[in-house]
Amino acid sequence: MWPRVVEVMIGAWLVITPLVFRGTEDLDRYAVNAVVSGAIVITASLMAFWRRTAWMRFVTLAVSCWLAGHGYLSAVRPGPPAAQHEIMVGLLLLLFAILPNDINGVNRPPSTAPAPRS
């Protein structure tokens, strides 16, 4: 479940980024996108802790694709810092969103049963 915890932290970062990029051109568009995306990521990641809604990590996957796409297509190259930030955070979220919830179960060592004798 540690990927969901990291996603919550990244979502919190998205919520506070309008305070960081105060001098960015078109800040209103990027600020609204960051706050809404951050709130969705936090909600989806927290809901993914519950076994019945474990599929909510795919909502985070969709939001990460939205962030990267919006940051890339919203401005001419090189984009303003807020657009570059959206691309970077979108790709970072994408890395965590593809990890399964039970990642520790996947990485368990093989059983310690004795090997059959031949």
Cα gap 11→35, rounded to integer Å: 9
> Around Cβ 55, how many Cβ atoms within 10 Å?
11
32 vs 103, more confident:
32
Backbone angles phi, psi at 100, to 5 degrees: -70, 160
Predicted pLDDT at 1: 75
Rounded average pLDDT over 98-108: 69
Contacts of 99 (CB under 8 A, 6+ apart): 3
Establish if 118 belongs to a structural domain. no
Establish if 9 belongs to a structural domain. yes
Establish if 109 belongs to a structural domain. no
- pTM for the model stands at 0.81
**Number of folded domains that form the chain:** 1
Establish if 77 belongs to a structural domain. yes
Establish if 59 belongs to a structural domain. yes
Rounded average pLDDT over 52-78: 90
Q: Which amino acid is at 6?
A: V
Range of the domain at 53: 2-102
Establish if 114 belongs to a structural domain. no
Establish if 116 belongs to a structural domain. no
Establish if 117 belongs to a structural domain. no
pLDDT band at 106; cut points 50, 70, 90? low
Helices (H), 1-118: 2-20, 27-47, 57-73, 81-97, 103-106
**Whether residue 107 has pLDDT greater than 60:** no
